[in-house]
Amino acid sequence: MNIAVVGASGAVGQKILEVLEERQFPVDNLYLLSSPRSAGTTVQFNGQEYTLEVLEPASFDKDIDIAFFAAGGGISKEYVDIARDKGITVIDNSSEFRMVDGVPLVVPEVNPEDVHDETLIANPNCSTIQSIVALKPLQKFGIKHITYTTYQAVSGSGVGGIADLKEGTTTTYPYNIQKSVLPHIDSFLDNGYTKEEMKMIEETKKILNDDTLNVTATTVRVPIENGHGVNIDIEFENDFDLEDIYKALEEAPGVIIRDDVANLVYPLAEEANGTDEVYVGRIRRDLSRKNGLHMFVVADNIRKGAATNSVQIAELLQ
């Protein structure tokens, strides 16, 4: 297949290339598109050297089958329709089209059936992706209410977030991320939630195809470089057996259980980094309410939370 990567110089774009190579995705011609600042630099892919080109409308005049967009909402808003008009299928990592009616929002382990003949498929928010992978196998027990509390690494803010963590600067964050956790990801809305929180709420309902779900979220930035954690509190319609919960998670694609508290085994970002699985642990009943469950979920937010999920979507299109 002929592939283009928009934002090829960024963290997610670079990781998409890495994952395409690892998974031996059948790439014939490869086009790497970037800002003028990065154009002209070279990268290696499958033993060949490729030069980054300036992104412009004419970039999509080439024979391209799939274009991965990993350059932010503004670029997606400007260029996605140009690519689609040329008959190119777009897999978009921004939030620009996620909640648009008719645009599938896809996590391949969860709703691969939503990929048909569309020319635009949206990649969900990073924290939503890992949460949904763990929630989907439990949907059969009748999920009534979900509460998310996230612990999101600075790599979710790109190179600027990583620089703030390493240097103690406040270029990306309003406060020194070396010294605090920040209960603030993306801008605040009139309802008191942040955009990041509303993304998780709305995307969960869309991916699970259940508008009746009650979902709330608090998203927090923490001073680690990579690997998001999410505490998920679930209320089910009816009582459940913990053994059935474990069995459902053990059988779920893309899930690894790390839950042996007697030996201090639970999900860690250090273990998740560099992998494509979702790690689940601290699985226990919620003692404060009937039919409640707690679990803690960790994943590599740049891989499963962005690049790998995008490549998995492309694999569904083969």
Going residue by residue through the chain, which has 318 residues, state the pLDDT in tens, using 9 for 90 and above.
999 999 999 999 999 999 999 999 999 999 999 999 899 999 999 999 999 999 999 999 999 999 999 999 999 999 999 999 999 999 999 999 999 999 999 999 999 999 988 899 999 999 999 999 999 999 999 999 999 999 999 999 998 999 999 999 999 999 999 999 999 999 999 999 999 999 999 999 999 999 999 999 999 999 999 999 999 999 999 999 999 999 999 999 999 999 999 999 999 999 999 999 999 999 999 999 999 999 999 999 999 999 999 999 999 998
Strand partners, 295: 232
Instruction: Extract the runs of DSSP E, i.e. beta strands, from the chain.
Output: 3-6, 30-34, 42-45, 48-51, 53-54, 66-69, 89-92, 120-122, 143-151, 214-218, 228-236, 255-257, 278-285, 292-299
| Domain co-membership, 228 together with 138 | yes
Q: Which 8-state DSSP code applies to residue 123?
A: P
Report yes or no: 106 and 313 within 8 Å, Cβ to Cβ. Answer: yes
C-alpha–C-alpha distance, residues 105 and 120, integer Å: 10
In this structure, are 193 and 59 located in the same domain? no
- Contact yes or no for 5/40 (Cβ under 8 A): no
Catalytic (active-site) positions: 126, 228
123 and 309 Cβ atoms separated by less than 8 Å: yes
| Phi, psi (deg, nearest 5) at residue 259 | -150, 85
pLDDT score recorded for residue 188: 98
Supply the range of the domain harboring residue 6: 2-124+306-317
Does 220 lie in the same domain as 73? Answer: no
Query: How high is the pLDDT of residue 117?
Result: 80
What's the structural domain count of the chain? 2
Same domain, 183 and 311: no
> Could you give phi then psi for residue 279, rounded to 5 degrees?
-100, 130
Cα separation values, 303 from 118, 194, 198, Å:
24, 24, 22
C-beta separation of 289 from 143 below 8 A:
no
CATH of the domain at 23: 3.40.50.720
Same domain, 295 and 310: no
Same domain, yes or no, for 228 and 184? Answer: yes
**Which residue is listed with tokens 């960024």?**
10
Residues 68 and 136 in one domain: no
Structure confidence at residue 149 (pLDDT): 98
Same domain, 180 and 88: no
The three-class DSSP label of residue 200 is helix
Q: What CATH number is attached to the domain comprising 149?
A: 3.30.360.10
Is beta strand 278-285 parallel, antiparallel or unpaired with respect to 255-257?
parallel
- On whether both 290 and 311 belong to a single domain, the answer is no
Q: What pLDDT is recorded for position 169? A: 98
Q: Are residues 142 and 210 in the same domain?
A: yes
Instruction: List, as residue ranges, the binding site.
Output: 9-12, 37-38, 98, 152, 155-156, 221, 301
**Same domain for 189 and 263?**
yes
Give the Å distances, CA to CA, from 110 to 162, 235, 250, 288: 31, 20, 15, 30
Report how far residue 17's alpha carbon sits from residue 50's, in angstroms, rounded to the nearest whole number: 11
Residue 221 phi, psi (nearest 5): -90, 130
* Matching residue, tokens 């406040």: 170
Closest by CA to 122, choosing from 223, 208, 207, is 207
Residue 65: burial class (beta carbons within 10 Å; 0-12, 13-18, 19+):
middle
Angstrom distance (rounded) from CA 275 to CA 278: 9
Q: Which residues contact 243 (CB under 8 A, 6 or more apart)?
A: none
Q: Which amino acid belongs to residue 73?
A: G
Whether residue 51 contacts residue 32, with contact meaning beta carbons closer than 8 Å, is answered with: yes
| 3-class secondary-structure state, position 312 | helix
Would you state the structure tokens that stand for residue 135, as one six-digit string? Answer: 């929630």
Could you tell me if 229 and 86 lie in one domain?
A: no
Model pTM? 0.95
Alpha carbon distance 257, 49 (integer Å): 39
Predicted local confidence at residue 142, as pLDDT: 97
